[in-house]
Homo-oligomer: A and B are copies of this chain.
Amino acid sequence: MARASQTETAVLGALSFMPMTGYALREAIRDVLGHFWSESFGQIYPALAELEQRGDVRRAGSGRTGASTFDITRAGKARLKELLGQPIQQVPPRNGLMLRLFFGRQLGPLACRSLVLGARAEAERRLAQFDAIRREPPDEETAQDRPYWLLTVSAGEHSARAAIDWADEALAALDELGRSR
């Protein structure tokens, strides 16, 4: 088979909360899972087509002409559970910041400093966003899911705080390096 793309997991998972159009799926994934997941239209529409053919989602032609709201079927719910149980597919690491810092001598302490500063600012932004998510009023319907969501928020916070701590350490080290040169 091997057709088990993680896109299907994300799509089925999102639809397990509520029926949506493909367009809305993309927005939901961007806005809600954005910190740790992403999908583009070019992935979502073909995935929906295949899921429909397999009977995992159903097209409930609603609202405007041409637009269709997709709904997860009973089979789809079972498939989601199966997909979630499959081993995690690791993506090979590709950290552009670390690549640059590793060859940082070529760039010099100053350019490295600004790279680290940029990473620090980005981590601060993420932290603020997580804070905003935590402040969102809990929703009755999804109350049961909230503890799991908070697990992912917490992971993001730990990661962002680690990035900030590291950045401060790195900035100090780079300053030292700049002075002694």
Contact = CB atoms under 8 A, between A and B. Distances in A.
Interface of A: 6, 9-10, 13, 16, 33-38, 77, 80-81, 84-85, 88-107, 111-112, 115-116, 144-145, 147-152, 154-155, 158-159, 161-163, 165-166, 169-170, 173-174, 177
Contacts of A161: 162
Given A13-B99, A85-B111, A101-B152, A93 B37 contact: yes
Given A98-B152, A99-B9, A152-B98, A93 B35 contact: yes
Pick the 8 closest A-B CB pairs, nearest first.
A162-B162, A104-B148, A88-B96, A36-B98, A36-B95, A38-B92, A158-B166, A13-B103
15 contacts: A6-B96, A13-B102, A16-B106, A35-B98, A36-B102, A37-B98, A84-B106, A89-B96, A91-B94, A98-B152, A98-B155, A105-B148, A151-B173, A154-B166, A162-B162
A169 B174 CA distance: 33
Contacts of A94: 6, 36-38, 91
A108 to B, nearest CB: 10
A107 B98 CA distance: 35
